[in-house]
Amino acid sequence: MEYLGLLFEIIFLVIGIYLYLFVRGFVTQKDPEKQLKMDEFRKENGWWLRLAAIALIAVMTLNIALHIQQLLT
């Protein structure tokens, strides 16, 4: 059961990293129409999405570190 919790923490960390990369513009689309919509969405919501992504990454990194420490002791 402990490993299942660690797996979910890693999944949420990956989601946070993807969200941060999306906000920074590293995630692109081949379809120009979809890319335009993504750019517009980032322009409107980029500030708070970046803060949310950084907070999620920070919290999940701390949780994973504590979880691994707990598993090793």
Task: Tell me the HSE value of 46 on the side-chain side, using a 13 A CA sphere.
Answer: 12
Q: How far is Cα 71 from Cα 20, in angstroms, rounded to an integer? A: 29
Containing domain of residue 17, as a range? 2-72
Triad 8, 56, 14: Cα angle to 5°? 50
| The total number of structural domains that make up the chain | 1
Q: What is the pLDDT of residue 41?
A: 93
User: What is the reported pTM?
Assistant: 0.87
Q: How far is Cα 42 from Cα 40, in angstroms, rounded to an integer? A: 5
Tens of pLDDT, residues 6-55: 999 999 999 999 999 999 989 988 999 999 999 999 999 989 999 999 99
Q: How far is Cα 50 from Cα 27, in angstroms, rounded to an integer? A: 14
What DSSP character marks residue 68?
H
